[in-house]
Structure 1
Amino acid sequence: MFVRMSTEIVLVTGASSGIGAAVAREFVARGHTVYGTSRNPEAVADPVPGVTYVRLDNSDYATADAAVETIGRIDILINNAGESQAGALEDTPMEAIEDLFTKNVFGPVALTKAVLPGMRERRHGTVVMVGSMLASFPVAFRSTYSAAKAALKAFALATRREVAPYGIRMISFEPGTIATGIGGRRSVHIGENSPYAGDYATVAAATAENEQSGITAQATAEAIVDAALAEHPKPFYAKGSSAPLVFLARRLVPREVILALTARKHGLPWIKL
């Protein structure tokens, strides 16, 4: 049975900027004790007031154990840190795909494994896996990122029942397009003379336009914090990109139509095979 604490101890990964910083700020505003992670805590350019920063590198699983040992009790874990990637699958080296999965899937899973024993012993805990709506609506030239976020979603949903007897809640949260400037930090893999260059440029331009008009990091943060603090949280939440409408369509419309509409949203005509 889950018992709500008056003040939760929260760990937010990737809290130095973007969604992570907004989530950390929102938890502080609601009166909770907040730790944030960064690969270089001493070098955080704009630290969130009230947040204690600890070192975490998703590529170094030992830092997950060290962070949990440093903090001690953790009631809520927001697995937000990760990287974005785009490009043609044929042009993307396997090393880059492996690195993306290390940072976006295996690192968050390692940190989750590190917090679970304490949560289980206290019979109290919440883990939120912050994914992407691309996990549910994959688009061309975002295959590796979509696949990584889909894997993170599956970990959350599959382990929900596994840990439920110990008062631990697992939640998958999928943001839509968010105006955080992440496009400028996205790794891109497209060959100099790639046959996919034209279509990739189309998708890249549409993605940049969509991101400029996306929802704010603050609106996303509020939804994530609401989910984490809910008395009886749902397994899955989505926010932004007309989430209620498009997920309803996903249930009612044939898969090929959804893929066609997703392609069109990103500037590509659908090619029926």
Structure 2
Amino acid sequence: MSGRAAGDGGGRTALVTGASSGIGAAVAAALVARGHRVLGTSRDPGAVAAPLPGVHYLPLDLADEASIEACAAAAGPVDVLVNNAGESQSGPFEELPMAAVRRLFQLNVLGAVRLTQLLLPGMRERGHGRVVMVGSMLASFPLAYRSSYVASKAALKGFADAARRELAPHGVALTTVEPGSIATGISARRTDYLADGSPFADGYRTMRAALDANEARGTAPERVAATVLKAIEAPRPRPHYAVGSNAPAVFLLRRLLPDAAVERMVARRHGLR
């Protein structure tokens, strides 16, 4: 990293969104341990149940443009941005309320994009920056009843993939880290939409039970944080990293098998036929 030993934060400033729990908290703690000055975000910093030593919390509501701008201004020059905050959403495609889908895309995609836009000029001018989008393996392995969430993570990955070559000549790297099933307790916080008397109820509930079980025995968020650190510290970060859910093997199958076979594989893992 630009004249410093690999793994040495060297006083660089990192901003981690959604740092009050789960993957965001694990990433923030790992960055503190590596010598970074770490800023974490929360909708309400005063309500963070277990504030991390060495992390300064800033308020951020990704649904509010003014809040995003205020967060960027309060953060000042940032060398590392980890876009982690977002919402997990499930429901039959036919029954998803459009207001909920719009909110999801604002939180998972547009808010992250806008925050990144605000922080990129400083990175470019200083000739160094790292932006990590925390996506999901579901962007590569779509799952029934998760269409809105899958689409939002695929969109976030698309922004990073397309913008990468624009920013590389300026020393700024954009990377997507795709976790599989992670044990963060997110199942209790997921927003669910299922209409009364829904014809999709049986399939949806089967998927949801399997999803919750997979997440309960999933990878620890600290493993995801270690992967995020790889992306931040690599002299030339890879475009994509995946972690958890047997990522090396399943991505190999993704390359070898036709799309229809991959879809069947994912469905069966979640009890669907």
TM-score w.r.t. structure 2 length?
0.96
CA distance in 2, matches of 1:225, 1:63: 27
**What does 1:70-109 correspond to in 2, within 5 Å?**
70-109=74-113
Q: Note the alpha carbon deviations across 1:8-61, whole angstroms, 9 max, x for none.
A: 210000000110001000000111110000111121111111000011111012
What is the 5 A alignment of 1:1-273? 3=2, 6-269=10-273
Q: How many residues align?
A: 268
* Partner SS state of residue 11, structure 1: strand
Q: Distance in 1 between matches of 2:215 and 2:75?
A: 35
The offset of 1:4, in angstroms, is 5.4
Q: Give the secondary structure class of the aligned counterpart of 2:229.
A: helix
What residue ranges of structure 1 are gaps of 5+ in the alignment? none
Deviations 1:218-263 (A, max 9, x none): 1111111121111111011000001000111111111100000000
Letter in 2 for 1:244: P
- The one-letter code matched in structure 1 to 2:257 is V
Letter in 2 for 1:168: V
Check the 8 A contact 1:22/1:218 in 2, yes or no: yes
Q: Which runs of 4+ in 1 moved over 4 A?
A: none
Report the AA paired with residue 140 of structure 2.
Answer: S
**Contact in 2 for aligned 1:124/1:168 (Cα 8 Å):** yes
The alignment yields a C-alpha RMSD, in angstroms, of 1.0
Hey, what's the Cα distance between the residues in 1 that align with 2:93 and 2:256? 30
Q: Distance in 1 between matches of 2:207 and 2:75?
A: 42
Distance 1:163 1:233 in 2: 13
Contact 1:156–1:172 (8 Å) recurs in 2: yes
Q: CA deviation at 1:198?
A: 0.4
Q: Deviations over 1:93-115 (max 9, x none)?
A: 11110010000000000100010
Task: Output the CA distance in 2 between the equivalents of 1:248 and 1:268.
Answer: 22
**Matches of 1:217 and 1:45, distance apart in 2:** 17
Q: Whole-Å Cα distance in 1 between the matches of residues 71 and 103 of structure 2?
A: 21
What is the one-letter code of the residue matched to 1:61?
Answer: E
CA offset at residue 66 of structure 1?
1.4
After superposition, the Cα gap between the structure-2 partners of 1:19 and 1:4, relative to the gap in structure 1 and judged at 3 Å, is farther
Report Cα offsets for 1:114-148 as digits up to 9, x if no partner: 10111111111110000000000010000000000
| % identical aligned pairs | 54
TM-score (norm 1): 0.96
AA aligned opposite 2:67: T
Counterparts of 1:135 and 1:177, CA distance in 2: 13
CA distance in 2, matches of 1:248, 1:225: 23
